[in-house]
Amino acid sequence: MAIGHQSFYQTALTSGITSGDLVIPLDTVPTPSEGFLVIESTVEAKREIIYYTSKDATTVTCPSGAGNGRGYDGTTAVSHLQGATVIMAPVGVMFEKFGTVSLGGINDTNGNELLKVTATGSAVNELTLANAATGNAPVLSATGGDTNIDIELTAKGAGDINLKPGTANFVQKNGYPIDWWEEIGRTTLSGAGDTLSVASLPARKYLKIIFSTLSTGGTTSLDLTFNADTGNNYSRRSFVNIVAGGTATSAANLRLDGGAAASNKYGVLEILNISAQEKIGVANVLDAIATGAGTAPSESRQDCKWANTSAQISTVTISNLNGTGDFAIGSEVVVLGHN
């Protein structure tokens, strides 16, 4: 629980208590489930501050053991008669509790757990949170007795640790992006087929398209289109194993591989994606050709262009238009983006 305060609270004891009683009977219990009360605040010889940690409909209960809730903040636990006045006042120890947050956690305004704090015996290292003026960032720091102190974040079970940037779309380390790219789309085949497509991509200035196709046994080809455009709006220049392989212009798609083959393929296309500009990019594709160490893979590079100047790429489709087989289960397209 968390210490609370109720303004103008006043009630009375419904029966007398001794200096050792920890259950305090009240005519009306306070709203907070944990807090400080003052009994007989106007009688100097009887004035006592108590600290309670739970309540029911008619009583509040002080913790037991050494330094329990009776006789707090320099007062002394004494007996009190039935009818003695009880108030909730902003006593000094309450502010000390707020200042050190020496409790087990912090609750939200609904009373639900927001932050839990666990204790470590003989602890010398801690976290310090500092706020900041306009134009500066708040700082969470490792501080303490050791010279070098790490900060460890631990997820629960199979959970991840997610860092989410703002509108700049990247997380920085010492002022430099940790990961320039963010994943904005992915499709993985759950059944064999001739098409891999990722749709509804958010607008990004730069795209990286990563694809891997597995063969069912027959040959497959990699034929790329954007936004379902199959008009003659594509052109490319090919290089196969570093040897120029010719050009294709006014084509209905972008052929990404060196030729249809019954093998697994992997490739990456990076492309500029400005709406009012033609989309130009470079694709590098590896074709396994055959299994085993006796055959080296083949490499093809495609310098690509999509002559569209009215829209950003929102759909990426790789089709098997020239092969006799299918893309196998597990074939995949992943799209990364950045502005």
Q: What is the CATH number of the domain that holds 232?
A: 2.60.120
Q: For residue 186, what pLDDT is reported?
A: 97
The confidence score (pLDDT) of residue 200 equals 96
Sequence-ordered strand ranges (E) for 189-289? 195-198, 206-213, 223-226, 234-240, 243-251, 254-255, 265-272, 279-287
229 domain residue, yes or no:
yes
Same domain, 286 and 192: yes
Q: Which of 99, 134, 165 is the last residue of a domain?
A: 99
Radius of gyration of the chain (CA): 35
Which of 33, 65, 99 corresponds to the end of one domain? 99
Segment 220-237, tens digit of pLDDT: 999 999 999 999 999 999
Domain limit, last residue, from 99, 132, 154: 99
Apex CA 115: angle with CA 92 and CA 50, to 5°?
A: 30
Is residue 253 in some structural domain?
yes
Residues 202 and 332 in one domain: yes
| Total residues belonging to the chain | 339
Residues 314 and 215 both lie in one domain: yes
Residue 27 lies inside a defined structural domain of this protein: yes
* Count of structural domains, the chain: 2
Alpha-carbon distances, residue 161 vs 140, 168, 211 (angstroms)? 17, 20, 26
pLDDT of residue 174: 76
pLDDT of residue 99: 54
Cα–Cα distances in angstroms (integers) from residue 6 to residues 73, 86, 134, 281, in the given order:
19, 13, 34, 66
User: HSE (CB half, 13 Å, CA atoms) of 166?
Assistant: 1
Q: 151 in a domain, yes or no?
A: no
**Predicted local confidence at residue 96, as pLDDT:** 62
What is the model's pTM? 0.58
End-to-end CA distance of the chain: 45
Exposure b/e, 205-243, CB count within 10 A at least 16 = b: ebbbbbbbbbbbeeebbbbbbbbebeeebbbbbbbbeee
Amino acid 37: pLDDT:
94
pLDDT of residue 259: 77
Same domain for 329 and 216?
Answer: yes
Structural domain boundaries, residue 23? 10-99
Residue 132 within any structural domain of the chain: no
Same domain as 191, residue 88 = no
Identify which of 298, 294, 239 has the alpha carbon closest to the alpha carbon of residue 264: 298
Q: Is 154 exposed, middle or buried (0-12, 13-18, 19+ CB in 10 A)?
A: exposed
Residues 207 and 333 occupy one common structural domain = yes
Whether residue 109 lies inside any domain: the answer is: no
Four-residue CA torsion sign, 251, 257, 259, 262: negative
Residues 316, 191 within the same domain: yes
Nearest of 205, 219, 262, 255 to residue 235 by alpha carbon: 255
Which structure tokens are listed for 304?
């690509």
Q: How many CB atoms lie within 10 A of CB 263?
A: 20
128 domain residue, yes or no: no
Query: Which parts of the chain register pLDDT below 70?
Result: 1-2, 66-67, 94-103, 168-170
pLDDT for the residue numbered 164: 79
User: Same domain for 93 and 191?
Assistant: no
